[in-house]
Amino acid sequence: MPGEDFDSALQAAVESKSKKIGALFTELGENITDLSEAKAVVEHFEMVLGRSAEAGVDPVVSVKPTHLGLDLDPAVTLSYLQRLAIAAEKVNGYLWVDMEGSGYTDATLELYAAVRKDHERVGLAIQAYLYRTAADIGRLLPLRPTIRLVKGAYAEPADRAFAAKRDVDANYLALSTFMLPAVKRKELRLVLGTHDVPMIRRITSFADALGVEKSQVEVNMLYGIQSEALANLAAEGHTTRQLIAYGSAWYGWYLRRLAERPANIIFVARQMFA
């Protein structure tokens, strides 16, 4: 991670431009306990959008609904998401709504649908390890959505999510393939949020076979992980971004990710020593 503040994150994004790799900024934080914190989060992301544009970096931000007060007042959270969507539009940027644990899935889908009705430049993260995701995507299709497909990192009970990696991978491939025809018709924007390069290559080969333009299949990875592979995809014509996370909450966030899904420990170790 570049650091605890936005300045270092912005510098990292500027340095990546020469490799045709864009940025996606997120200030870490979730489950706030006071709505005054949510207001400060919104103001921070408005600043991020403005300064990114001034620096010549695509203004793209990603925010968790519980960081905007979903636990406290969903109506306030919706108003703040709408405010950020407007701020993103003003600088030709983009707003992403992150998905959290499955207890928030229905509320997050409702928030996204409400914002998407009035704003085009807004996307939603969807988790491939949940059984329900195929049906959720089907319900979103009439909105002409932007979807970032991730595998999922929260600990979920067996009645809600695939536990085995092979099953998650199989569903990720199936969901991506399901969405590609809509991508070709430009009825859906698909972003692959994964570091699984063999999986990405399988999906992009299917996309090529369907006649989908390379730039229509975007790939997002965490900053500093699989950087060479991401640069190669960018050189081939794919739209690429690095998710640059920062903020004083990073250490607690990192520990929770490891605690929620122990397989993440193995993943991080592989990246460090590969």
pLDDT tens readout for residues 182-209: 999 999 999 999 999 999 999 999 999 9
Mean pLDDT confidence for 223-233: 91
Q: In which band, very low, low, confident or very high, does the pLDDT at 216 lie, cut at 50, 70 and 90?
A: very high
pLDDT tens per residue, range 50-66: 999 999 999 999 999 99
Residue 272 above 50 pLDDT?
Answer: no
Which tokens go with 124? 């939603």
Cα dist from 21 to 12, 33, 239, whole Å: 11, 36, 8
Residue 267 above 80 pLDDT?
Answer: no
- 31 SS3 class: coil
* Residue pair 150/194 in contact by the 8 Å Cβ criterion: yes
Strand 217-222 versus strand 189-193 pairing type: parallel
Report the pLDDT value the prediction gives residue 260, as an integer from 0 to 100. Answer: 47
Report the pLDDT value the prediction gives residue 274, as an integer from 0 to 100. Answer: 37
Catalytic residues: 98, 148
pLDDT tens per residue, range 117-135: 999 999 999 999 999 999 9
| % of the chain residues with pLDDT over 90 | 83
Type of residue numbered 22: G
What is the DSSP secondary-structure string of 192-251? EE---HHHHHHHHHHHHHHT--GGGEEEEEETTSSHHHHHHHHHTT--EEEEEEESTTHH
Closest alpha carbon to 129 in 164, 102, 161:
161
Which tokens go with 186? 């430009």
Write down the mean pLDDT value for the chain.
91
pLDDT tens per residue, range 139-180: 999 999 999 999 998 889 999 999 999 999 999 999 999 999
Type of residue numbered 138: G
Residue 270 above 60 pLDDT?
Answer: no
pLDDT tens per residue, range 21-35: 999 999 998 999 999
Closest alpha carbon to 189 in 222, 221, 212:
212
How far is residue 62's CA from residue 98's CA, in Å, rounded to a whole number?
6
Q: Rounded to two decimals, what is the model's pTM? A: 0.91
